[in-house]
Chain A
Amino acid sequence: MNNSTLKNTTILNVGPQHPSTHGVLRLKCELNGERIIKIEPIIGYLHRGMEKMAETGSYLQYLPVVDRIDYLSGFFCSFAYLDAIEKLMDIVCPLKALYIRTITMELNRISSHLLWLGCYLMDLGATSPFFYAFIEREKILHIFEKLAGARMMYNYYTLGGVKNDINKELLGEIKVFAGNFNKQLKEFEDLINNNPIFISRTAMIGVLEQETAVNYSVTGANLRASGILKDLRKDFPYLIYKQIEFDIPYKKSGDSYSRYIVRVKEMKESCKIVNQCLDWLYSNIEDLKINLKINTAKIKPEGEAIGQVESPRGLMLCYICADGTNKPSRVKWRTPSFYSVQLINEIAKNYLVSDLMSIFGSLDVIMPEVDR
């Protein structure tokens, strides 16, 4: 049938168009029957030249584009970029802006994890939890629409703070959502956590050893599900994470089931963080300003800086090299999914084709982030 008949293997081409590769990714799998021998991921179908684009415009002209590097976590990308520039220009944002940024980023983390949850379960074949997850996600997107004006590509952060102020009515909506969220999440857990079919599809599948994880520079929930407790919010605290109490969930086994459990627990922790920020905002809502009015003609930094953030998929890093003009000289994005895609060859060997979808879905890879 093809030129690998001598080795008794077949080549199965998963994608680029495939319902469950979460974007355009081509996985060239070499199979023996249904066992996987080797996988070669081929990326680049979604390369938009984000890094080169930054060099053609000024710093603030690039800001709306930054949201689109990872469309599910737009706030995180904006923050990483702005953090680097703020370090270069030595700007400190007002406190209220920091709290608003934290709330929006945590809500964004919840919405990104909800989408991951729905799509992962749909890949496995359970068609209903997808809709339940999206109902919750709709509530968050509704809040964002009232706050920032858009459901997904927000363009809400600016240099020195945020653009629009938040009012008491919106705070009330967020409080209602955060109050109900734990109950809705419990519905999910009742349906899925102890489901024997789900456990047989995900437990001990795609085990990621600690050494492999460190060698392949895995970060985020994938790393924490293998037992290594590393979270940027605790190691290098940014925004106001020093003053907030929250735990970092982790599990020791490193299989797909523990990645699922870790992400569900992360959602609960995000809810806790949102509640604590809401308390502060309720007491300080009137008086403070939300951004520094910065003269855009004076944005001419010089030097190199790194802005880093713990996005839902891992560590996102933005490196800016500035040379004193109003255009950046080099902007480099280190996106976590780029490194998860390399991982697929290591951890998916000797499993069946059905397991490939289970493993790949549990790594939470988003293709625009990989190709930029």
Chain B
Amino acid sequence: MFQEFKTKFNIQKEEFILPDINKFYINKDDLKQVLRFLKETDRYLFETLECIIGKDNTNNALELIYALFSSKYNTKCAVSINIQDDFSVPSVVEIFPCANFDEREIYDLLGVRFINHPKLERILLPSDFEGNPLRKNYKMQDDRLRWNYE
């Protein structure tokens, strides 16, 4: 089903999220084009963005997974981008308005800046909080939690 999509955007790497959800790795710059293509072409029609998952793989690399759902063809797929040194990603709020809070949460917990987001602020943590807790190298400030790192 995804043959046309894979050839158009020259996707090399593809994995599976169980149960049978395809995960495609794309470049950060192609993100908006890919999502718009998946949303609007009749063959795919992934019009719902179910969630944006932010992951901290080790070696200072983050990964953002956009989970999409198409109700017409009853399939799910995922699009994933790797972020290395420059933690800024174009925002997809114009294509999928529900990404608003999701992107703020990823900014809050992982420290990824989204360009052109209408209101990029901390959402779950207090606004004067320092640090990004979901990163693996985040040290919790409380000494009593030292057992977690040993």
Contacts and interface: CB of A to CB of B under 8 A. Distances in A.
B56 A235 contact: no
B55 A330 contact: yes
B49 A304 contact: no
A330 B57 CA distance: 9
Given A44-B125, A215-B97, A216-B97, A332 B53 contact: yes
Interface string A326-349: 000110101000110110000000
A342 B18 contact: no
Interface size class of A (residues with CB under 8 A): 35 or more
Nearest to A88: B18
Interface size class of B (residues with CB under 8 A): 20 to 34
Nearest to A84: B18
Interface string B16-30: 111101010000000
A371 B124 contact: yes
Contacts of A304: 15-18, 23
Contacts of A52: 133-134
Interface string A59-71: 0000000000000
Interface in B61-100: 65, 67, 71, 74, 96-98, 100
A371 B16 CA distance: 29
Contacts of B17: 304-306, 319
Interface in A233-291: 235-236
B48 A214 contact: yes
Nearest to B51: A334
Interface of A: 43-44, 47, 49, 51-52, 56, 84, 87-88, 214-217, 228, 230, 235-236, 303-306, 315, 317, 319, 321, 329-330, 332, 334, 338-339, 341-342, 371-372
Interface of B: 15-19, 21, 23, 47-51, 53-56, 65, 67, 71, 74, 96-98, 100-101, 109, 122-126, 133-134, 148
* 5 pairs of A and B residues whose beta carbons are closest in the complex: A334-B51, A217-B98, A305-B18, A44-B124, A47-B124
